[in-house]
Structure 1
Amino acid sequence: MKILVLSHRIPFPPNKGEKIRTFHQIQFLASCGHEVLVLSPYEEKEELTFAKELESSLGIKVLMFPLKAKWRRLARGLATNQSLTVSNFYNQGMQDAFDDLIDAGHCNAVICTSSAMSSFVFQNKALMNLSSKPLIRLVMDFMDLDSDKWAQYESKATFPMRLVYGREANLVNVVEKRSYQRFDDCFFISENEVNLFTDQLLESSKLKVLGNGIDSALFFPTKRADRPGQPVFLFTGVMNYKPNEDAVQWFVDAVWDDVKAAWPNAEFVIAGMDPSPRIQQLVKKPGITVTGFVDDIVPYYQKADVFVAPFRIARGVQNKILQALACGLPVITTQLGLEGIKAEPEQDVLVANTAVSFFEAIQRLLTEKALYQRLSEHGPKFIQQHHSWNSVLQDLATVIETRGCP
């Protein structure tokens, strides 16, 4: 089958959540013998190199389209009362190319990577003509319920950003509901996302869960160094992303001083690209390292002693937690960080939602050898059982291979 993927970012290199997810979906579909063509907007010239690397890596074709200046895109969104997320990724050249491909009968299925890409479908006359629409299956990978994420931002913000986030939450929600009405199949990353969206709909028969997987050939456990009294704590992620920034800042403000009092030689490594000024300032605190971009994140998981994931704002599945588990690195997370991950507290992870309970979990993990060993051994087994990409993506294959529309 011929499959068009409308990707809001080029999914290469697969070095962060949404890129990892889309990359593995494309890789899986190509390995099943499907002909895959990716259309994606871009901001930086280096993304053109990434596109060529994606083509050669997976044996697919990629078409890239340059975006206008960001301020112009956002101004357009404000002027047209459009979601800023949608206007940020929209490109007329990409729309024209997509329309031409649809008119030429080039594809049997279209996959959109997030509701931001739905605008290209909505503006295609053939696909929106319900009386004579072509037999093309439309698949929406929402990933997360983005409107709820913006609502969470709104609840924690002050004027004027509270108004900006509230506006975006409402407009994205309109796009999500319209997408559900037009697309044939809609995926979310977890059951919780499905349930949240189901509560907003009259019926939800087209909603399905498509989880995230882990490549165990890349993320695997190794023997850890024995460092009595010198524990290394780790957090990974894109460090100008608000949920990551909030989680790390909370941990430093609420827990780190107690950790240093108990273990004066403890280290906290914050590994990930694009640290915000707020995160960069944390290096002034004793024992804290902010790496910025790293070529290979795996050694950081393999050399740390504890992975902390104290999320207070989150949507969807946290890949970083899955990666830590695959590497046999014990995880302490809030309940929010565990969303969409069927790990068993006390067997696979430790869950703590307050500063006091988080510190108590750290104390237990670093003083109870049997607990540490159990979590370290259970993590990789849990990933193999629940998060291998081949098993996770079978539902996508089933949907794609259902020809035409329901």
Structure 2
Amino acid sequence: MAKLLYLVHRLPYPPNKGDKVRSYHLLKHLAARHEVYLATFVDDPEDEAYIPVVRQLCTELHVARLHPGSAKLASLRGLLSGEALTLPYYRDAGLGAWVQDLTRRQALDAVVVFSSSMAQYAPHALPMLVDFVDVDSAKWTDYAQAHAWPMSWLYRREGRRLLDFEARVAARAACSFFVTDREVALFRQLTPGSESRIEALCNGVDAEFFSPSDERASPYAAGELPLVFTGAMDYWPNADAVGWFAAEVLPALRLRWPALKFYIVGRSPTPAVQALASEAVVVTGTVADVRPYLQHAAAVVAPLRLARGIQNKILEAMAMARPVVAAQTCVAAITAEAGSELLAAEDAADYVRQVDALLSEPDRAERVGRAGRDCVIKRYSWSAHLSGIDHHLARSCAAPRLALQAEAA
């Protein structure tokens, strides 16, 4: 059993958005095998209630409060220092002091970093493993292409500066992980000549939790044809996706299926998302349990135009045995049989055609849903995927001990 410092940019509970799903399951995986000393941020007051849940998984926990408004102002220091704005956004003196104190009190074996921004706290004396998840720098560059000046300039700058930092972190790490082989290939392409050790550490899904149940009542009115999107609705790619779908796809589907309603299910909808609410669109905001909305949906859509890596929302919907129509780029990141386990679309006409076919052929929709659930059960177990970090941890933790033994001899 090793003593691990785990650095996470957001409290890894509840697992209600993509990064928190992954960081929570990684925490559970590490805590089952090692002593975990966790340092993290809380950036949502609602998450305060879950600190005791996380504390139970840790030997020791330090939580820093992050206020997004003031953190955004603090991030502007990066314009003066020349660094990526993400770094001062997540810079906290108290968290840094706790890490320094911890290293004096405990003989730590290694540090596991979740999200590149937390690498600024990793003690240089410890072997480091980094879960980048996605190539975040590329995300900012993508944002630049979707926005006008001056935001395009700011996002493009952030992409360049963050990539420089990511490259330095990867060079220092014993091993770095991304969620898919495609993200690994992209990072290697963006950092030519890098000798860094990089591997894919795939996402999973808790198929026992996300499973259909006859006891789960429908949240929908009788006679509705619910089409569902799930996700944190203050995340710009999600807000962009539902806005585009409501404008470009939904009207054509409603001509054929007047009972169709588009349900946008997720926390913190932005004003732009709230403005989509109408006779045809329901914006739920936070719900106690997303599973009833998935289980009783006629179909689930994921029309993400800017997305990186494997989307947990797609795996969860598949686990709930619902047919999913997703962006081609999202489907390509998932090991599933396109057309029978997961349906892909590239433009508005594709979405109209795919959803219309599912609504017209309920038996086929059920077959696609069942096949999708079988797919995630076979290929997307969290324990199977996260075990990929174990041998790297064993090797990283063993190296300092061997060095100490040699020095003592």
Asked whether the 8 Å contact 2:328–2:344 carries over to 1, the reply is yes
1:217 aligns with 2:208: yes
CA apart distance, 1:231: 2.0
CA apart distance, 1:330: 0.3
Unmatched runs of 5 consecutive residues or more in structure 2: 401-409
1:264 aligns with 2:258: yes
Residue 61 of structure 2 aligns with which residue?
62
Asked whether the 8 Å contact 1:147–1:172 carries over to 2, the reply is yes
1:208 aligns with 2:202: no
Residue 11 of structure 1 aligns with which residue?
12
Unmatched runs of 5 consecutive residues or more in structure 1: 128-133
CA apart distance, 1:50: 2.4
SS of the equivalent of 2:284 reads strand
Asked whether the 8 Å contact 2:75–2:85 carries over to 1, the reply is yes
Residue 96 of structure 2 aligns with which residue?
95
CA apart distance, 1:383: 0.8
Q: 2 CA distance for matches of 1:251 and 1:393?
A: 34
Residue 172 of structure 2 aligns with which residue?
182
Residue 131 of structure 1 aligns with which residue?
none
- Worse-matched range after superposition: 65-74 or 191-200: 65-74
Amino acid at match of 2:139: K
Asked whether the 8 Å contact 1:190–1:316 carries over to 2, the reply is yes
1:245 aligns with 2:239: yes
Q: 2 CA distance for matches of 1:216 and 1:169?
A: 35
- State TM-score, norm by structure 1: 0.91
Amino acid at match of 2:41: P
Q: 1 CA distance for matches of 2:192 and 2:42?
A: 34
Asked whether the 8 Å contact 2:113–2:130 carries over to 1, the reply is yes
Residue 353 of structure 1 aligns with which residue?
346
CA apart distance, 1:368: 2.6
Asked whether the 8 Å contact 1:222–1:327 carries over to 2, the reply is no
1:399 aligns with 2:392: yes
Amino acid at match of 2:81: T
SS of the equivalent of 2:273 reads helix
Identical-residue share of aligned pairs (%) = 33
Asked whether the 8 Å contact 2:171–2:196 carries over to 1, the reply is no
1:86-117, CA deviations, whole angstroms, 9 ceiling, x for partnerless residues?
A: 11111122112212323445311101111111
**Aligned-pair RMSD on alpha carbons?**
2.1
Amino acid at match of 1:274: S
Residue 21 of structure 1 aligns with which residue?
22
1:338 aligns with 2:331: yes
Aligned residue runs from structure 1 range 192-341, under 5 A: 192-199=182-189, 200-203=191-194, 206-222=197-213, 230-284=224-278, 286-341=279-334
CA apart distance, 1:290: 0.2
SS of the equivalent of 1:282 reads coil
1:6-36, CA deviations, whole angstroms, 9 ceiling, x for partnerless residues?
A: 111111111111111111111111112x101
Aligned residue runs from structure 1 range 51-200, under 5 A: 51-56=51-56, 58=57, 60-67=59-66, 69-121=70-122, 124=123, 127=124, 134=125, 136-199=126-189, 200=191
Q: 2 CA distance for matches of 1:346 and 1:293?
A: 32
1:344-376, CA deviations, whole angstroms, 9 ceiling, x for partnerless residues?
A: 111111111011111111121122344313211
CA apart distance, 1:205: 5.3
Asked whether the 8 Å contact 1:3–1:109 carries over to 2, the reply is yes
Amino acid at match of 2:13: F
